[in-house]
Amino acid sequence: MSLSSVCIHILRNEYSQLDPNLPHYLDILSEHGADECWHKCGTFKEHLYHIWRILKLWNQSDPICRLGLFHSAYSNSYVNLAIFSRNADRNFLKQELGNEAEELIYLFCVVNRHQLIFDILLPAGEIPKAGITVKHIITGEDVFLSAYIIAVFLITTVADFVDQRFSWQDQLFGNNDAKMRFTDADPGYLWPGDGKPGLWVNWSIQLANMVKQANIPNIVIPPLFELFQAPFPKENEIKSRDLYWEIISSYCHSSKSNEAIEILSQVCQLNNFIAEPHALLAQLFIQKKEFEKAEIHASKALKLLEYWGTSWDKHMSWEGWIAWVRVLLTNIKDKKWPTTSHGIISLGLV
């Protein structure tokens, strides 16, 4: 399976091929300290760029991608990261990003997104066609959100959460049942925790299906969202994550390949929306010289990695997972695999 031209440009950091202004925007973020701010998986700038990347892979317009790139720049109801002033810097960002993008950024930062999603939209199960009026988080004034803006915010929120969520936040907030709680369960849990994947797939599917069912004009449905069908039981997500972690923790050797294949196959049956179990299965089948089975799983992994635009298992970067799966596919095509340790570490793709 080949990658899209958009994905290739992203992997090669050919920013100007996708948005000629992106290098300038990244410089603006650096000038305002985004490289120096901590943010979950790394720095704030890394996270902002990742959301731009995800939205670009999801075929969103430039204004929406720019929303992703500056989505918390005025600070918001979730985080205290105001690298721009929502009063003094609005005209500056309008001139740099365009009115539409800046307006989306401003609204994204001044509404209580948690209340909007968890208290209003999820209980209702739909996006109101007439839109919603909410309160400004600082002034208390009414802020109207059209159905279009709500859908944009849900798409961006899925991108925002899937990039930064891993098990550390689940422990902090008591999200071990995949209900996406935000309670003060364990504020003493040390960052970065044990590094397990987070429990966010079920929740992402709920928001994605809400966007799809709304059928709002001018909303581009991300290719990823087309994979989702409701319902996806929370129990499946929890069990698949825990079984995957059992493999990562206990089965990292080919001598246990049959057991690992059995467990990973169960993971894929429970949750076929994530790439990394398929990547591990491909490697196991290559080692057994079962190249047809290996190709099925490696191709599936590569497609899912491109669809998500981020990794589920954040031990390794999204770019790293893609590079590894492409190595697997190259060796599958050639029907070969190293049999020595030096052969393994010399693997590459030219």
Domain ranges of the chain: 5-165+200-230, 236-345
pLDDT tier at 139, thresholds 50, 70, 90 = very high
156 close to 51: Cβ distance less than 8 angstroms: yes
Instruction: Give the residue-averaged pLDDT of 125-151.
Output: 96
Q: What is the pLDDT of residue 79?
A: 72
228 close to 209: Cβ distance less than 8 angstroms: yes
| 132 beta partners | 145
pLDDT value at 165 more than 90? yes
Encoded amino acid at 198, one letter: G
220 DSSP assignment:
P
pLDDT tier at 182, thresholds 50, 70, 90 = confident
CATH superfamily label, 236-345: Tetratricopeptide repeat domain (1.25.40.10)
pLDDT higher for 306 or 88? 306
Q: Which distant-in-sequence residues (6+ apart) come within 8 Å of 290 by Cβ?
A: none
Tell me the two tokens of residue 63.
């204004």
pLDDT tier at 41, thresholds 50, 70, 90 = confident
Which class would CATH give 5-165+200-230? mainly alpha
pLDDT value at 254 more than 70? no
Q: What is the mean pLDDT of the chain?
A: 94
pLDDT tier at 223, thresholds 50, 70, 90 = very high
Q: What is the pLDDT of residue 23?
A: 95
Instruction: Give the residue-averaged pLDDT of 235-256.
Output: 89
Question: Above pLDDT 70, what percent of the chain?
Answer: 98
